[in-house]
Amino acid sequence: MMKVLTVSAHPRRDSLTTALHDIAVATLTGDGHEVKSSRLYEMGWKAAADEADFGDTTAGDSSFMFASGEAFDNGSLSPDIQAEQDKLRWADTVLLHFPLWWFSMPAIMKGWVDRVLTMGFGYGTGPAAKRYGGGLLDGKRAMLVVAVGGREENYAARGINGPIQDLLFPIEHGIFSYTGMEVLPAHVVFSANRVTPQRFADLADELRERMSTLDKIEPVPFRRGDSGDYHDRVLTLRDGLETPGTTGFDLHRRIAR
């Protein structure tokens, strides 16, 4: 049985994102998994990170990032952040549900990432830098469930918006993999502004099927930072590991797409 944290971000109760989130929670619960949910709009989640988040930790001369790490070490992070960190510690699986706004997550969810994944919790720094593996979130599995307004063709290999997998790389690799989490392939629904009742029934079935097999899904084969694939200090990929001709984000997959 899994312990699943779901985080959802849509301002409307009657949105596709909210409906699919409800279905995911119901399916997982029905299958006997434990589920905790953070519905960010309903919680009135504070989006903008600021020094009030650090409680009585005075940042002094250190940067904002180091101040977040000191507040984590001191246990002085604000209660809303500590509550989310507790949920993340508890969970073995994390689902983020959101509509794709401007090719990324809505601000309120970005604010969940910015504020909850503090230094010390989401990553370390310095010689023992826990990045891309080895951190507190190591080994958890994470997945995006994303509603995209545009057509799938616009996000295909030659689509004007760019390939959806590349657009999600800053999140899947830069947030999930960076903090040590395994990435399950995103569940993406295109043309999400034009959903008929018949299509909604199909989308609901597809998501139920996905949730029922969540514990069996193979993760995206991103390379780990501690795998030996990267030069030790500069963290650039060693020569010769990729399929010839591979460039950009794809270099950071052990197995070519």
Tell me which residues touch its own copies (CB under 8 A).
10-12, 15, 40-41, 45, 47-51, 59, 63-66, 99, 101-108, 110-111, 113-115, 117, 131-132, 149, 151, 153-154, 156-163, 166-167, 169-171, 173-175, 178, 193, 225, 230, 234-237, 245, 247-252
Name the minimum Å distance from CB 230 to its own copies: 6
Distances in Å between the alpha carbon of 22 and those of 13, 30, 71, 88, 214?
10, 12, 34, 20, 16
Name the minimum Å distance from CB 13 to its own copies: 11
> Given the complex with its own copies, which of 137 and 211 has the nearer CB atom?
137
> Given the complex with its own copies, which of 143 and 172 has the nearer CB atom?
172
> Given the complex with its own copies, which of 9 and 214 has the nearer CB atom?
9
Name the minimum Å distance from CB 174 to its own copies: 4
Per-residue buried b or exposed e for 23-34, using 16+ beta carbons within 10 Å of the residue's own CB: bbbebbeeeebe
Tell me the DSSP string of 173-202: IIIIITTT-EEPPPEEE-STT---HHHHHH
| 3-state DSSP assignment of residue 118 | coil
> Given the complex with its own copies, which of 66 and 200 has the nearer CB atom?
66
User: Cβ(38)–Cβ(5) under 8 Å?
Assistant: yes
Name the minimum Å distance from CB 212 to its own copies: 29
User: Cβ(80)–Cβ(128) under 8 Å?
Assistant: no
Name the minimum Å distance from CB 119 to its own copies: 10
> Given the complex with its own copies, which of 143 and 171 has the nearer CB atom?
171
Name the minimum Å distance from CB 16 to its own copies: 8
Q: What is the distance between the alpha carbons of residues 25 and 2, in angstroms, rounded to a whole number?
A: 12
Strand pairing class (34-39; 3-8) = parallel
Long-range contacts of 13-18 (CB under 8 A, 24+ apart): 15/99, 15/147, 16/99, 16/147, 16/189, 16/192, 16/195, 16/200, 16/203, 17/97, 17/98, 17/99, 17/145, 17/147
> Given the complex with its own copies, which of 7 and 49 has the nearer CB atom?
49
> Given the complex with its own copies, which of 164 and 211 has the nearer CB atom?
164
Name the minimum Å distance from CB 102 to its own copies: 5
